Amino acid sequence: MGETKLKYISFAIPCYNSEEYMDKAIESILKGGQDVEIIIVNDGSKDGTLDIAKRYEKEYPTIVKVVDKENGGHGDAVNAGLEHATGLYFKVVDSDDWVDEASLKKILDTLHELVDEKKMVDMVVSNYVYEKVGAKRKKVIHYQNVMPQERIISWKDMGYFKIGQYILMHSVMYRTELLKMCGLQLPKHTFYVDNLYVYYPLPHVKTFYYVNVNFYRYFIGRDGQSVNEQNMIKRIDQQLFVTKTMIDMYHLGKIGNKRLRAYMTNYVAIMMTVSSIIAIRSKRPENLEKKKELWEYLKQKDPKVYRKIRYGILGQTMNLPGKPGRKVSSLAYMMANRIFGFN
């Protein structure tokens, strides 16, 4: 038997009834050749997803592997992908998204250099692009103002993130062994767990590397998409669950590194804002009550973080009193949506 080729990146593609668009995601990653491993996780699909996955596995047996499992939701599919990953780094690509070929080559070249020099980092960050249906221009989320480029960095080298600029699943690759070591396990049958995927490993990350390329293409506009506003309103309980889970993960006052603590606090602030705006946009009294309960939950769990977020610009905007206040909050959201191009 020949020597097993080192895989630099394991790409997990969670698939549920993805037959109409999964080819684009797979084909875009195949451009990485033998340096990549593609783990297609069929999460109990009822369409032709599994057949398509097996066709790729048969055609590219040294690159593609298929994990067929009963339905457990996006997070459980990510767990399954990680369990089967053998690459040095782990990256999740949703089945309706794709990656840019030139950017993939640049990232692989960078990883080759780091491995050759025995300088493995814990996290690799790159840019992502909102591929929004009907948008006249594509919004690129980059980190040029926050992270030095083309060198190994740590939290002390970080600048400060702007509102709307934070590290998402789309922009991050973690060292596979770090994810396994820190015991990352995402909850089953829950939307929005990508936030937990990014947030939970952060205190374990000591070194990272920023590759300034527009690597990940994040498609927005499919009706069934979980980030569609109406779907977010329907699934508000799951958004609240994920936000509370993040609050429970760490007592942020005990995070020693100042820059890391500030970043994690801002991440919780974003989650509180998203949860609040969904409640406000729903215009339902029961959801407004849930919003109130969420802020009280944070206050009880971590009073210091509560004060910092509640009386910061996001917290104040989301908690303006009465119906006029909620209108202002909603208007602020719509303006941000126009500027940043999300949802």
User: Tens of pLDDT along 269-289?
Assistant: 889 888 888 888 888 999 999
Kindly state whether residues 64 and 143 are assigned to the same domain. yes
At residue 231, the pLDDT reads 83
Angle between helices 101-116 and 22-30 (to 10 degrees): 40
CATH of the domain at 29: 3.90.550.10
Give the pairing of strands 64-69 and 36-43. parallel
At residue 118, the pLDDT reads 96
Last residue of a domain, one of 168, 202, 220: 220
Kindly state whether residues 68 and 200 are assigned to the same domain. yes
Q: Write the pLDDT tens digit of every residue in 197-229.
A: 999 999 999 999 999 999 999 988 755 544 567
The residue written with tokens 């996290």 in the block is: 123
Kindly state whether residues 235 and 301 are assigned to the same domain. yes
* For residue 314, pLDDT beyond 90: no
Range of the domain at 295: 229-340
At residue 1, the pLDDT reads 42
* For residue 2, pLDDT beyond 50: no
Spatial contact of 188 and 70, defined as CB atoms under 8 Å apart = no
Q: Give the total number of structural domains in the chain.
A: 2
* For residue 316, pLDDT beyond 70: no
Spatial contact of 4 and 38, defined as CB atoms under 8 Å apart = no
Q: What value does the CA radius of gyration of the chain take, rounded to a whole number of Å?
A: 20
For residue 1, being part of any structural domain is answered with no
Q: Write the pLDDT tens digit of every residue in 89-131.
A: 999 999 999 999 999 999 999 999 999 999 999 999 999 998 8
For residue 322, being part of any structural domain is answered with yes
For residue 19, being part of any structural domain is answered with yes
Long-range contacts of residues 140-144, Cβ cutoff 8 Å, at least 24 apart: 140/214, 141/165, 141/168, 141/170, 141/171, 142/212, 142/214, 143/167, 143/171, 143/210, 143/212, 144/212
Q: Distance of alpha carbon 342 from its chain centroid, rounded?
A: 14
d(C-alpha 343, C-alpha 330), whole Å: 14
